[in-house]
Amino acid sequence: MKLTFLGTSAGKPTKERNVTALALEFDQDNKWYLFDCGEATQHQILRTSLCIGKLSTVFITHLHGDHCYGLPGLLSSKKLDKAFSPLTIYGPKGIKHFIECVTDTSQEHLGYTLKIVETEANSRIIFDKFVLRVLPLVHSVESFAYFIQEHDTTDKLDEQKLRLAGLEPSPLYGELKRGNSIMHKGKEFLSKDYMLSPLPGRSLIVAGDNSKPDILGAYLENLDLLVHESTYTQKVYDALKTKFLHTTAKKLGEAAQKHHIKNLIATHISPRYSRGSSCDAEMICREIKFAYKGECFVAADFDVFYLDRKKKLQKL
């Protein structure tokens, strides 16, 4: 699975980072998914190979503007692009009102089917490639993490076994791969008897704003990849006069280590951390790595990562 970070800033954009958005693509798929849609996400999409016409589903973690103010423009541009494929948006209670307020005020006729689903914590939704579970977080408004468990898959035939059974490579192999049984020289070949064992699916959490990573509990245990906010380093957070419900690099690193998470990507970085200043995102990375010994990255805009079947995370 491939992740493209379209925005990695917390609260407001900077010259280096736009506000939160993340694209997710599965292997051999013709569609993609978007997690959060901060303002100007559609501008960021234009700078990648992603195409709005192939966007099938948007998951909004919570209704703070840096996570959803990009929706109205994106929905409108989809119509102007004549991308009339249906689109579904999942989000917390209030997402429907937010979108309908804007589209009604602008008398926007989208021309495609827009389904808006207000999800609740702990709901479970089955997609063609994965099962998704909505998990509650700790933030100043209702905020969700989306846990994704990819289905176990195989499309590999045991060719040696087929040959021994008298079936040489032919278009019949395609039928077996599609799960169909076939007849050959009076003998029935059942698809399930000739497929290699399935490859285990990958697991991923994309979390919204959250001050308590541990709230994800058992879902973190041996997780293949966690994408989580890391808004501040601990020292900066401790010096804040007003505390916000966000996670520090230290707390995130400790949670990741405690739960044996295989790979971690930190995002939603406070605008105060900028390249070349005395306070840059490297500090966040170092603080996480002090506690966490797995693979760890702090995402920048347009970073692309691939999580392979062996659960190894690579930055492309």
Binding marks (x or -) toward Zn ion, 157..196, rule CB under 5 A? ----------------------------------------
Tell whether residue 64 is a contact of Zn ion (CB under 5 A): yes
- Scanning 155-163, 185-193, 201-209, 251-259 for contacts with Zn ion by CB under 5 A, the matching segment is 201-209
- Please report which helix (H) or strand (E) contains residue 85, including its range: none
Stretch touching Zn ion by CB under 5 A, among 120-128, 186-194, 202-210, 216-224: 202-210
Active-site annotation holder among 36, 66, 224, 301: 66
Burial of 154 (0-12, 13-18, 19+ CB in 10 A): exposed
| b (16+ CB within 10 A) / e for 260-297 | ebbbbbbbbbbbebbeeeeebbebbbebbeebbebbbb
Say whether residue 209 binds Zn ion (CB under 5 A). Answer: yes
Of 47-55, 58-66, 150-158, 181-189, which part binds Zn ion (CB under 5 A)?
A: 58-66
| Of 42, 48, 38, 41, the residue nearest 2 (C-alpha) | 48
Quick check: helix, strand or coil at residue 252? helix
Compare residues 64 and 202 and give the one whose CB is closer to Zn ion. Answer: 64
* d(C-alpha 4, C-alpha 253), whole Å: 22
Residue 244 C-beta: closest distance to Zn ion, Å: 8
Catalytic: 193?
no
Determine which residue in the list 25, 36, 39, 66 makes contact with Zn ion, applying CB under 5 A. Answer: 66
118 within 8 A of 91, measured Cβ to Cβ: yes
Pick 17 or 262: Cβ nearer Zn ion: 17
For residue 228, the surrounding DSSP H or E stretch is strand 225-229
Could you tell me how far CA 166 lies from the centroid of its own chain? Answer: 44
Closer of 8 and 203 to Zn ion (Cβ): 8
Q: Is the Cβ of residue 39 or residue 209 nearer to Zn ion in the bound state?
A: 209
Residues lying near Zn ion in the complex (CB under 5 A): 64, 66, 209
* Active-site amino acid positions: 66
